[in-house]
Amino acid sequence: RGQSADSLSFIPFISSCREGCFSPISPEACPLVQSFMCHNRTFILDGHVQLKTGLQTQERHLFLFTDLLVVAKSKSHSHFKLKCQARLCDMWTAFCTEEVCEGSTDPERSFVLGWPTTNCVANFRSAEQKETWLSFLQSRIREEKEKDYPKSIPLKIIAKDVGTCAYSKTLSVTNVDTANDVILMALQQLGINGSEKDYKLWVISGREDAPYPLIGHEYPFGIKMSHIRDAMPHGSKHCACPRQLQGSFLTEQLPQELQCQFVLKPSRLAVCPQLNGTSPRS
């Protein structure tokens, strides 16, 4: 049975131990929540969700903190296994559910939720829960972006299959510029005619087996910065305002597995060259 928005916001969270069996437990009693608590982070909200990507659907539990979203799998009424975590300043929301998962989704209960390098459809038990989560996430993402540091970085865009040769341009990209915004900036700077509908911005990441195109709502700034943070010493990746991210970290050559390149290609071309000659995923 779905929970109301008010219960999600103000009553100790309800976790599912078995289908149809619910047990109330204080967030402070959950070891996973405790492991993320610190002096500059506050627990806000939690709840059950279905995360859909392609044909895959996963039952997950979300824990929202002031600066972080934690995705976990429920093992019992009080034990959760961490699946992933994302900084809110790097996250995005959208409504293009048909581009992220196959099959039908109820727009009244669903929206697209993403972070580097993931897009998924978050499907909630009720429209009220969906609106509560969307409101909290959008508000916290906006506030965390306002506190983000730095707020702009140089981003190299490589243009391929445009004209007779490959060339590049380095743009100043902010933490609120979407992939479509960056495409338009790149087209203008490169003197290329067209719109964001005519081109795709691809990401070639050392984390992934193959390059992938951005849908348009993602934040290239956040994707690039997440790769840079992975090169930082353990323990400083998720701090609220990592000052180490300025200077050499923005310009130094990272190991291949931490590299991230952005390639502008016409939309009609579906294949993107690999990073340093690695073969594409079949």
Residues 30 and 43 in one domain: yes
The count of domains in the chain is: 2
**Beta strand 92-94 pairing with 110-115:** antiparallel
Dump pLDDT digits (tens) for 256-275.
666 789 999 999 754 444 44
Q: pTM of the full predicted structure?
A: 0.79
Of 91, 118, 147, which residue constitutes the final position of a domain? 147
Q: Is the pLDDT of residue 47 over 90?
A: yes
46: CATH: 2.30.29.30
Residues 12 and 69 in one domain: yes
Residue 71 · residue 51 · CB < 8 Å: yes
Kindly report whether the peptide bond that precedes residue 150 is cis, defined as omega within 30 degrees of 0: yes
With a CB cutoff of 8 Å and minimum separation 6, the contacts of 147 are 89, 240, 241
* Cα–Cα distance measured from residue 247 to residue 153, given in angstroms and rounded to the nearest whole number: 10
Q: Is the pLDDT of residue 280 over 60?
A: no
* Cα–Cα distance measured from residue 198 to residue 183, given in angstroms and rounded to the nearest whole number: 10
Task: Name the nearest CA neighbour of 115 among 74, 84, 154.
Answer: 84
* Cα–Cα distance measured from residue 229 to residue 121, given in angstroms and rounded to the nearest whole number: 26
* Cα–Cα distance measured from residue 173 to residue 224, given in angstroms and rounded to the nearest whole number: 10
The amino acid that residue 37 corresponds to is M
pLDDT of residue 253: 59
Kindly report whether the peptide bond that precedes residue 117 is cis, defined as omega within 30 degrees of 0: yes
Of 147, 162, 187, which residue constitutes the final position of a domain? 147
Tokens linked to 236 = 């400083």
Tokens linked to 159 = 């243009």
Dump pLDDT digits (tens) for 116-161.
989 999 999 999 999 999 999 999 999 999 999 899 999 999 998 8
Tokens linked to 199 = 């081109």
Question: Does 250 fall in a domain?
Answer: yes
Question: Does 122 fall in a domain?
Answer: yes
**Beta strand 260-266 pairing with 212-213:** unpaired
Tokens linked to 3 = 């929970």
